[in-house]
Amino acid sequence: QKTSFHRSQTLDFKNGYAFFRLPREGVGGETLFANQLSQDELDDLCTRGATLTYGQVKRSAPSRFIPAFVAYDKKVLKFDAYFQEEVPISAEEHYRIRQVGLYYYLEDDSMCIIEPRVKNSGLLQGKLMRRHRVPKNEQGDYYHWKDLNLGIDLPIYGRTYRLVNCDSFTKVFLESQGIVVNPPEELVSDPYTEQRRTPVPKRIMPAGPDPFRQFLTYDTKVLRFYAIWDDTNCAFGDHHPCIIHYFLADDTVEVREVHKRNNGRDPFPVLMRRQRLPKIFVDKNQNFPSCVLEITDHEVQEWYSPKDFAIGKTVTLLGRTFLIYDCDKFTQDFYREKYGLTDFQPVDVNKKPLEKAPKVIPPYNGFGIPEDSLQNCLSLFPKPPRKDIIKMLENNLKVLRYQVALESPVPEDKNRRFILSYFLSDDTISIYEPPVKNSGILGGKYLKRTRVTKPGSTPENPIYYEPSDFTIGSTIEVFGHRFVIIDADEYVLNYLERNSGSFPAATVQSIRDHFLPRKVVVETTSSGIPKKDLDDFIVEVQKELKLQQPFNTRQFHEAFHHVDKEGSGFLDRARFFNVCDRFNVPTSTILLKKVRWKRCCACG
């Protein structure tokens, strides 16, 4: 056995410097072979061969520092978990399984727990734990993502959460950090919730008679029929839409009336209250009034049942007749299962629109103008007929005035004179009779301003008088009265000449021929006698006439007009003297020299 274990000296000094010297002997004086190296030195030479040959390799600059809240911003680890909660106050469940989601935020190592909300669960769900760093133990350590993995129990604030699964990002992140992720587990469901989701088995009703069988089977099940109550036989009756409810629980019937907006009826919802309705009564004493009897089961032979109601049937309920035209889907399924009916085609109860009668315009009754009377036939609230505004603006205050004489077999009407005014703005005519003293006829407005139709025109196609119809000597028929035009205003001549292209040539020439003698007289007078001498002459004649006995100027004028049958305004000397002698007018020599071919009307 080896007893010497000393090691040879390897420290040596040369020129005052200490350096390492290779040992000459091994441990215990063993012989060393030349150039023998240890295993560590050989490994070092293998790894540092390139460094010894080519020198030290240049190291790259260290990477830029990135803080954790930037590197892990919006990076969250998500785990599916559940915890078990005790239920001490319920007889149906002893514990409850609540599924949650655990979120770990890498930027600040905070955590939060959120439970998905379930409608009508009765639990305070949502965020069960707010986001913060969760303590791990009493020593002040906090949970780190290295502590999280699948298939582990995680105690947090007295609750133990079982982590069963995670998303793909969480799995990739944990594996990249060298953590072996456990296989996922199945998420446990709440047994009470699963029990509530299973369909409730139908109860098998006993075969024997059960007084509450019908109520328990058909509770809250109602047959709904849509019907029409025909009440047209009564005064102010109509077709009333109704809904008939048949309650299967107790075989009662209720009728509700469907009200429409602004139908004019009181909105009473129930037409017949819920009650059993008798169909056939037992024979009873007809002498006793039935209004005071309460209907009992002994007095009714048959009550209304579901088989009495169907689409297209007419049922009489308490004296009212209802036509059933449709039903809802539950009612259809009930009759299909119990009675085997398949035809549920609704009955069309919509009123057919009445044929619109053609509008016939009644004949004109003579009141007002035809256009105004026609508006009463077109609308309940008549509007005034539309007027030609452009024509009214262009011809405003433009009036053509004519002097007309009444053509009548009555002698008193022969000397009556009228002023006929034609308004160019709206083609209306008004007739005015100048009052004459002691004539026995009250003058004034004879015809108010209105449009006058021509003889022979129909009310459907009226033809009205136009300015081209008014010529000297023409006859105008106004509502059965005939007028003859004997004179016109000078404005008529001027207007017709300015607008000669709009009127017939015969109308313009008639007015020109009428004013031609007056134009000749005016030219003759103005050329022969100065105006001052003519005015002095008229004053002298008026003075001579005032010296006579009471003088009738009107008869004097009529006599000159009667003698002047041509209407030219000229009289010869012989006829002029005859008229003067008839009225005892003196014919002095001085005046006769001045009165040569003057108009007889100048004496007035």
Q: What pLDDT, in 10s, does the model give residues 349-405?
A: 888 888 888 888 888 777 777 788 888 888 889 888 888 899 999 999 999 999 999
- Output the CA torsion 434→439→442→447 (10° steps): -50
Q: Is the pLDDT of residue 601 over 60?
A: no
Specify the pLDDT at position 141.
93
Q: Is the pLDDT of residue 527 over 70?
A: no
Q: Which residue has the higher pLDDT, 82 or 577?
A: 82
Specify the pLDDT at position 293.
59
Helices (H), 353-438: 370-378, 389-394
Q: Enumerate long-range contacts of 6-13, CB under 8 Å, 24 or more apart.
A: none
At the topology level of CATH, where does 398-524 sit? PH-domain like (2.30.29)
Q: Is the pLDDT of residue 541 over 60?
A: yes
| SS3 readout for 337-364 | HHCCCCCCCCCCCCCCCCCCCCCCCCCC
Specify the pLDDT at position 363.
81
| CA nearest neighbour of 483 among 446, 442, 515, 512 | 446
Specify the pLDDT at position 245.
95
- Confidence grade of residue 520 (pLDDT, cut at 50, 70, 90): low
* Count helices and strands in the chain by DSSP H and E runs: 15, 22
Please list, in sequence order, all residues whose beta carbon lies within 8 angstroms of the beta carbon of residue 507, skipping any fewer than 6 positions away.
467, 468, 469, 470, 471, 496
Specify the pLDDT at position 246.
95
Q: What share of the chain is helix, strand, coil (3-state, %, to 5)?
A: 25, 25, 50
Exposed / middle / buried, residue 419 (Cβ in 10 Å: 0-12, 13-18, 19+): middle
At the topology level of CATH, where does 211-284+294-339 sit? PH-domain like (2.30.29)
Specify the pLDDT at position 597.
40
Please list, in sequence order, all residues whose beta carbon lies within 8 angstroms of the beta carbon of residue 78, skipping any fewer than 6 positions away.
101, 102, 103, 104, 166, 167, 169, 170
Specify the pLDDT at position 589.
46
| CA nearest neighbour of 8 among 21, 27, 32 | 27
Query: Within 13 Å, how many C-alpha atoms sit on residue 537's CB side?
Result: 18
Q: How much is the average pLDDT of 15-31?
A: 82
User: At 561, which amino acid appears?
Assistant: H
Q: Is the pLDDT of residue 194 over 70?
A: yes
- Confidence grade of residue 428 (pLDDT, cut at 50, 70, 90): very high
Q: How much is the average pLDDT of 99-123?
A: 92
Specify the pLDDT at position 599.
40
Q: How much is the average pLDDT of 264-284?
A: 86
The residue ranges of every structural domain in the chain are 1-35, 68-197, 211-284+294-339, 361-396, 398-524, 531-595
Q: Which residue has the higher pLDDT, 531 or 278?
A: 278
The rounded mean pLDDT for the chain is: 83
- Confidence grade of residue 566 (pLDDT, cut at 50, 70, 90): low
Specify the pLDDT at position 603.
39
At the topology level of CATH, where does 68-197 sit? PH-domain like (2.30.29)
Instruction: Tell me, yes or no, if the two domains 68-197 and 398-524 fold the same way.
Output: yes
- Confidence grade of residue 49 (pLDDT, cut at 50, 70, 90): low
